[in-house]
A = this chain, B = another copy of it.
Amino acid sequence: MTTAAPAPSTRDLPHPAREEIRLEGVLHALSDPVRLRIVRELAHEGVALSCSHFDLPVTKSTTTHHFRVLRESGVIRQIYEGTAKMNGLRRDDLDDLFPGLLDCVLTAAGRQAGRRLGN
């Protein structure tokens, strides 16, 4: 019965509706290196990941802050799953609002990272 449905209803996190997502907010969220890295990894894995999955060069407090910025700007969706908090990209919403934007940013980020490494 509660296998595929959102069972843990104890804590619910506020997310902006699709129409409330603002381009400026998304761009600002993506303009931070730590957050861009998170988004890149989420896109690369393709599935929702727990916060602890990431190995970021900041403390856990700061990590929480970055995930909140991403959620409040509409870039990711956060759902509690037991003790873990799963983070998933809001690909459908973003692609509908800003077609191609996410892919462009991800491609650009990948190219930039590649340029820095071996070029």
Contacts and interface: CB of A to CB of B under 8 A. Distances in A.
Interface of A: 19, 22-25, 27-28, 30-33, 36, 97-101, 104-105, 107-109, 111-112, 115
Given A24-B31, A99-B104, 18 more contacts: A19-B115, A23-B36, A23-B108, A23-B112, A24-B32, A27-B27, A27-B28, A27-B31, A28-B28, A97-B111, A98-B104, A98-B108, A100-B100, A100-B107, A101-B104, A101-B105, A101-B108, A104-B104
Indicate the member of A22, A27, A101 with the most B CB atoms within 10 Å: A27
- How many monomers of this chain does the complex have? 2
Nearest to A102: B104
A22 B112 contact: yes
- Interface majority SS (helix, strand, loop, mixed), chain A: helix
A93 to B, nearest CB: 13
Contacts of A107: 98-100
